[in-house]
């Protein structure tokens, strides 16, 4: 694939909570940008700032040298890449597609094989850091796929994240993201329980946070999501419904490897209960509301 230049056309599919900010960083860096999103309104600001709108993913693929995708579910990814109108059928040979959706490692391998047969490079590059990380270009980006393609694409990925790490062959990025989600899953249960304990013991949660964020209990969720929980702000930086999707992928992969993951199973069951109670479109920090109801 060709080296990046200011003439490299970047296609971007998926301008949701995180994708909109990510596409904006690419636009501000001066790359020509072609967009598609299911809801055009969510791309309105990017279009106003000079991005070209495409009516279909096919049009994005045909117009672009590199296409970045960040959509909802593995089924969306599979249809977007491998469906009858999938972008692999319309990308030019020697071009690159980077899927930044959290998806199935097995699907990433399948997409990579199909792309190689067509002379196209692919990377699976899921991210962590939520809406804040996307806005501030401080995402952690976990990359799997062809190492040569990774090296060529790294300057572009550096526009989106502060921690871009190559993990290995196709699927390795997605496997790394599963490690990330497994870690977060049990941690979110812990920070929710800790905050409820602080409230019910008569402590000032803000003061407690000052003490424990810099100690052994420190975590990204504790520093970034607990302040929202204290303010009862459950707006999605990352949707509960998407977290459930991730945890199911992680659990299926863990079972395939013969692993016991009781913490993951507990977190998944709690988030599924939260979704059934109407919280599927809330942020992951809304888990505390479920535990509060149980306490009452």
Distance from chain centroid for Cα 236: 13
**Diameter of the chain measured on Cα atoms:** 64
Which residue numbers are catalytic? Answer: 177
The runs of H, that is alpha helices, within the chain are 19-28, 44-48, 57-63, 74-82, 105-117, 130-135, 147-157, 172-200, 205-212, 220-224, 226-230, 240-256, 262-274, 287-295
| Cβ(186)–Cβ(243) below 8 Å | no
Question: At which residue do the structure tokens 């990814």 appear?
Answer: 77
Helices and strands in the chain: count of H runs, count of E runs: 14, 9
């Amino acid at each position: 694939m060709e080296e990046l230049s200011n003439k490299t056309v970047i296609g971007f599919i998926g301008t949701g909570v995180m994708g909109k900010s990510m596409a904006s960083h690419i636009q501000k860096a001066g790359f020509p940008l072609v967009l598609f999103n299911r809801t055009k309104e969510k791309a309105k600001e990017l279009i106003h700032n000079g991005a070209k709108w495409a009516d279909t993913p096919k049009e994005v693929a045909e117009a672009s040298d590199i296409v970045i995708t960040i959509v909802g579910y593995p089924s969306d990814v599979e249809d977007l890449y491998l469906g009858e109108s999938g972008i692999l059928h319309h990308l030019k040979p020697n071009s690159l597609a980077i899927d930044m959706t959290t998806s199935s490692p097995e699907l990433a391998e399948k997409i990579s094989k199909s792309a190689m047969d067509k002379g196209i490079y692919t990377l699976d590059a899921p991210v962590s850091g939520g809406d804040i990380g996307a806005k501030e270009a401080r995402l952690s980006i976990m990359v799997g796929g062809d190492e040569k393609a990774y090296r060529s694409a790294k300057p572009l990925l550096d526009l989106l994240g502060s921690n871009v790490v190559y993990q290995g062959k196709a699927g390795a990025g997605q496997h790394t993201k599963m490690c990330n989600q497994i870690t977060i899953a049990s941690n979110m249960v812990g920070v929710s329980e800790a905050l409820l304990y602080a409230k019910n013991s008569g402590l000032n949660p803000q003061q407690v946070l000052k003490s424990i964020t810099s100690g052994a209990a420190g975590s990204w969720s504790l520093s970034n999501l607990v302040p929202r929980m204290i303010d009862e702000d459950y707006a999605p930086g990352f949707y509960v419904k998407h977290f459930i999707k991730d945890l199911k992928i992680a659990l299926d992969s863990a079972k395939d490897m013969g692993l016991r993951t009781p913490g993951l199973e507990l977190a998944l069951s709690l988030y599924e209960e939260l979704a059934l109670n109407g919280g599927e479109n809330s942020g992951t920090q809304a888990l505390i509301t479920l535990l509060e109801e149980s306490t009452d």
